[in-house]
Amino acid sequence: VAIKEPMKAHVKSIPGPKSILYLKRLKKLNGAWSFPHPFVHSDKSQGCYIQDIDGNRFLDFASQIASNPLGYNHPDLLKVVKRYNTHPIKFAGQDFVIKEHIDMLEELLSIVPKSLNAAFLVNSGAEAVENAIKVCMRKRPETKYGISFEHAFHGRTLGALSLTNTRSVYKKNFLQLPMQRLPFTREATTTLLRLVEEEGSQENIGFVIIEPIQGEGGYNLPVEDLLGSVRKITKKYNIPLICDEVQSGMGRTGKWWAHQHFDIVPDVMSVAKALQVGACISSKEMFPEPGAISSTWGGGHRMDLALGIETIHIIQREHLLSSIQGQGKYLKERLNELNLTNVRGLGLMVAFDMPTKINRDNLVLECLKQGLVLLGCGKQSVRMIPPYIITKEEIDEAVMILERAVKVSSQKGFKHRGKICEFIECN
Amino acid sequence: VAIKEPMKAHVKSIPGPKSILYLKRLKKLNGAWSFPHPFVHSDKSQGCYIQDIDGNRFLDFASQIASNPLGYNHPDLLKVVKRYNTHPIKFAGQDFVIKEHIDMLEELLSIVPKSLNAAFLVNSGAEAVENAIKVCMRKRPETKYGISFEHAFHGRTLGALSLTNTRSVYKKNFLQLPMQRLPFTREATTTLLRLVEEEGSQENIGFVIIEPIQGEGGYNLPVEDLLGSVRKITKKYNIPLICDEVQSGMGRTGKWWAHQHFDIVPDVMSVAKALQVGACISSKEMFPEPGAISSTWGGGHRMDLALGIETIHIIQREHLLSSIQGQGKYLKERLNELNLTNVRGLGLMVAFDMPTKINRDNLVLECLKQGLVLLGCGKQSVRMIPPYIITKEEIDEAVMILERAVKVSSQKGFKHRGKICEFIECN
């Protein structure tokens, strides 16, 4: 039997000549242009490797921002894609019924805490958060504000955005809903208790929303017992607690949900990304009267639903939760060998810090040029969120590229040069 | 040549035995359960006819709430579905580039007014509206409120919902952004001028948003020159005007955009439904700095994008805009023959009124039982939004069912009976 050559990252030129043509067109017409990774995806990606239309091959430690957890062209997901050969693919799921809607609800509710026994499927993580807070407010007629955390990211629609406390460019000039902010530290409980008690009435607090591990805001792990004590206070005062698991959920941390590392059960959960659809999950009693919440397409996208269901099945069948734990541990060990700062994370939700934002941006770009796709987060952190199917060999390859890129990009006066500068935010 | 028997609606039992099993499961688990049409879709729908899993066949005058404009299993859309045989289907479209994103922007921008030369693709109509108002507010640092209309529906996320003025069940207890409301009548201009002048500064008005023809709120056509005079005032005072074309756009009214019937050009447009993805469309100068707006999946769903592009192509290739005008005229003529009240609409966006809400609900249900799928809107209106490919024969069949159902359901003391009552809101 011929030994199959392992795949390797390989970058000839970035952006390659074909990608350049597309990137120029996109830059001109996309009102939200914000320096995407400067290459164009081809159909030929495989496993943890992205292949672009110029034949460059990248090792993917970004997983489409945690929304593609099983890599590229996984054979079982391919089967699902090929199974769909009728039109429409997308129905008005709350008004018209398709089987996949029901199947997804059953699968999803089988992997969440038992007290959460109903869900509302929507189109995105932002919509999941919007509905999570709507569900709470409807139950709390005295709501005057909600509570989120410093460095929180909950999405870009204006309700979710009012809860988001990362970058000012996300919110400048926008009308906002009234929200209070807790530090993501030990002091959270003091502030929360002050709000509950000093403000006269806890009835004015619509909800507390927390990412068990903060995502966009910097892959920040909660200090010991932050979640436990927030859960205790919210329970005592009967304030609904929402866990936003859009990025941290669906197995990313080695458990189905990141909050399970901290032994709490939320009243409401928002989920999306790896699930392939958005979901607001709670108890049937918590959900409001008919007509109160809805969505044209929510629960109606047959293929997204079927791919989400199969994603759950594959994670179960291939015992990926335990391998996520093992590979995550190995990744952190290897990163620590490089003497990187503040290596942290749970499972395959891992990050480290660079000395400055410019260092971080340069490192992410240099890795890309050498074939490793990464994302930044927080002020100066790098996130590493490979597909759940990552192997030790692939982690080794990534760490090798990273080591080389740290050296190159940390040199004094380092600057990127060449065609790429037309498509990146040059420092 | 054998003459092909024309398809006909045919309902044996609703819900059929197979559908009942699914509906029971869905009712238990769907937190947003709100009495969907009580049947489950099969793969075998064709053209303007829905077939359910129990073999019932319905004539579709709802088009998945205007989001499936070309009927079922259109051969050219089938080709698109079949073309996609790789995974993932859905990318993180603002951070990673796929060709379909660029192609969609080019196609979409080719059918909007020339001054709108950029777009931001998102996941839903609600997200399209959220981004439309964000784009305006970023340009208007003094924004203290936005302006929408009575009976307006702009979506369910909290920004869009703050602009929505239809049913109280949509908004009760929810925190809201500060908005002002204009009547959807001749008096709108007086109120708008009062806001602009009396409040001291027009700088506090972030935007005016209007549905050229109101959708969910009742298929209300604007009084003569409402749009023209609102456009005139907003232009004079430099206030951005948003046309929400989520339901009325993409050819539904016999022109690409409903606002084109009124000879105005908006500064921003929100689009979704028939386009298969959401879009906020404006001029490149109107869009904010990089990072200000984004979305994980927006611009990343290859199949939805490809189906939306092909939808535009089919409408062009099959000259559907002109047949929409013709069939819409014919439909209104036929409805007027039945002496229905307030028959109105443009193109295939048509509605009429029933004497009461109960009459309306009963009629919609009775039609369903006889094989015609309709939707309500407003307080007591019925909307008729068939696929653009509807024929005169199919309109005749729908009108025949409607006539029969009006007679049956208007009898004194009429009540629905049987299994269906478990799955509907019984009056």
Give the sheet arrangement for strand A49-51, strand by strand: A49-51, A57-60, A372-373
Region B66-71: mean pLDDT is 98
What is the C-alpha to C-alpha distance for residues A33 and A362, in angstroms, rounded to an integer? 20
Using CB atoms, pick whichever of A117, A133, A294 lies closest to residue B32.
A294
Inter-chain contact B130–A31, Cβ cutoff 8 Å? no
Closest-CA residue to B425 (of B159, B169, B166, B162): B169
Residue in chain A lying closest to B246 (CA): A296
Inter-chain contact A22–B102, Cβ cutoff 8 Å? yes
What is the reported pLDDT for B201? 78
What is the reported pLDDT for B1? 53
Inter-chain contact B124–A297, Cβ cutoff 8 Å? yes
Interface probe, candidates A21, A30, A135, chain B, greatest B C-beta count within 10 A: A30
What is the C-alpha to C-alpha distance for residues B213 and B249, in angstroms, rounded to an integer? 10
Q: What is the CA radius of gyration of chain B?
A: 22
Angstrom distances, CA of residue A400 to CA of A330, A334, A335, A358, A362: 14, 10, 10, 21, 17
Residue in chain A lying closest to B160 (CA): A158
Angle at A106 between CA A102 and CA A108, to 5 degrees: 115
Please give the mean pLDDT across all residues of chain B: 96
Using CB atoms, pick whichever of B121, B289, B299 lies closest to residue A169.
B289
Residues in chain B closer than 8 A to A284 (CB atoms):
28, 31
Under the banding of pLDDT at 50, 70 and 90, the label for residue B426 is low
Q: Is the peptide bond before A88 cis (omega within 30 degrees of 0)?
A: yes
What is the reported pLDDT for A213? 98
Residues in chain A closer than 8 A to B120 (CB atoms):
30-32
Residues in chain A closer than 8 A to B205 (CB atoms):
none
What is the C-alpha to C-alpha distance for residues B356 and A5, in angstroms, rounded to an integer? 72
Inter-chain contact A35–B287, Cβ cutoff 8 Å? no
**How many CB pairs below 8 A link A and B?**
360
Separation in Å, CA of B69 to nearest CA in chain A: 10
Separation in Å, CA of A279 to nearest CA in chain B: 10
Inter-chain contact A32–B67, Cβ cutoff 8 Å? no
Q: Kindly report, residue by residue over A142-179, the tens digit of the pLDDT.
A: 999 999 999 999 999 999 999 999 999 999 999 999 99
Of the two residues B310 and A198, the one the predictor is more confident about is B310
Separation in Å, CA of A197 to nearest CA in chain B: 22
Inter-chain contact B40–A282, Cβ cutoff 8 Å? no
Burial zone of A87 (CB within 10 Å; 0-12 exposed, 13-18 middle, 19+ buried): buried
Query: Running DSSP on this structure, what letter comes out for residue B35?
Result: -
Query: Which distant-in-sequence residues (6+ apart) come within 8 Å of A298 by Cβ?
Result: A93, A94, A120, A121, A122, A123, A127, A277, A278, B32
Using CB atoms, pick whichever of B41, B175, B297 lies closest to residue A91.
B41
Interface probe, candidates A124, A148, A389, chain B, greatest B C-beta count within 10 A: A124
Question: Are β-strands A57-60 and A372-373 bridged in parallel, bridged antiparallel, or unpaired?
Answer: parallel
Angle at B377 between CA B371 and CA B379, to 5 degrees: 120
What sign has the CA pseudo-torsion A355, A361, A364, A370? negative
Interface probe, candidates B87, B162, B368, chain A, greatest A C-beta count within 10 A: B87
What is the C-alpha to C-alpha distance for residues B372 and B381, in angstroms, rounded to an integer? 16
Q: What is the pLDDT along chain A (427 residues), one digit of tens a residue?
A: 556 667 899 999 999 999 999 999 999 999 999 999 999 999 999 999 999 999 999 999 999 999 999 999 999 999 999 999 999 999 999 999 999 999 999 999 999 999 999 999 999 999 999 999 999 999 999 999 999 999 999 999 999 999 999 999 999 999 999 999 999 999 999 999 999 987 667 899 999 999 999 999 999 999 989 999 999 999 999 999 999 999 999 999 999 999 999 999 999 999 999 999 999 999 999 999 999 999 999 999 999 999 999 999 999 999 999 999 999 999 999 999 999 999 999 999 999 999 999 999 999 999 999 999 999 999 999 999 999 999 999 999 999 999 999 999 999 889 888 888 888 886 6
Inter-chain contact B135–A31, Cβ cutoff 8 Å? yes
> Are A56 and A12 in contact, with CB atoms under 8 Å apart?
yes
Using CB atoms, pick whichever of B31, B43, B173 lies closest to residue A141.
B173
Angstrom distances, CA of residue A138 to CA of A143, A279, B36, B169: 9, 18, 22, 10
Inter-chain contact B123–A118, Cβ cutoff 8 Å? no
Assign B244 to helix, strand or coil.
strand
Taking the alpha carbons at both ends of chain A, their separation in whole angstroms is 50
> Are B31 and A269 in contact, with CB atoms under 8 Å apart?
no
Is the pLDDT at B5 greater than 80, yes or no?
Answer: no
Using CB atoms, pick whichever of B65, B94, B119 lies closest to residue A296.
B65
Angstrom distances, CA of residue A290 to CA of A119, A137, B365, B418: 14, 16, 17, 21
Interface probe, candidates B131, B296, B304, B309, chain A, greatest A C-beta count within 10 A: B296
At A329, list the tokens: 């541990």
Interface probe, candidates A45, A50, A94, A123, chain B, greatest B C-beta count within 10 A: A123
**How do the residues of chain B divide into helix, strand and coil, expressed in percent and rounded to 5?**
40, 15, 45
> Are B48 and B389 in contact, with CB atoms under 8 Å apart?
yes
Using CB atoms, pick whichever of B94, B286, B307 lies closest to residue A89.
B307
What is the C-alpha to C-alpha distance for residues B377 and B381, in angstroms, rounded to an integer? 5
Inter-chain contact B40–A99, Cβ cutoff 8 Å? yes
> Are A306 and A80 in contact, with CB atoms under 8 Å apart?
yes
What is the C-alpha to C-alpha distance for residues A98 and B43, in angstroms, rounded to an integer? 10
What is the reported pLDDT for B224? 86
Inter-chain contact A124–B296, Cβ cutoff 8 Å? yes
Under the banding of pLDDT at 50, 70 and 90, the label for residue B316 is very high
Is the pLDDT at B199 greater than 70, yes or no?
Answer: no
Residue in chain B lying closest to A300 (CA): B64
Residue B213 CA to its chain's centroid (Å): 10
What is the reported pLDDT for B424? 86
The distance between the two most distant Cα atoms of chain B, rounded to a whole number of Å, is 75
Using CB atoms, pick whichever of A31, A72, A303 lies closest to residue B284.
A31
**pLDDT-above-90 percentage for chain B:** 93
Inter-chain contact B137–A167, Cβ cutoff 8 Å? no
Query: Running DSSP on this structure, what letter comes out for residue B209?
Result: E
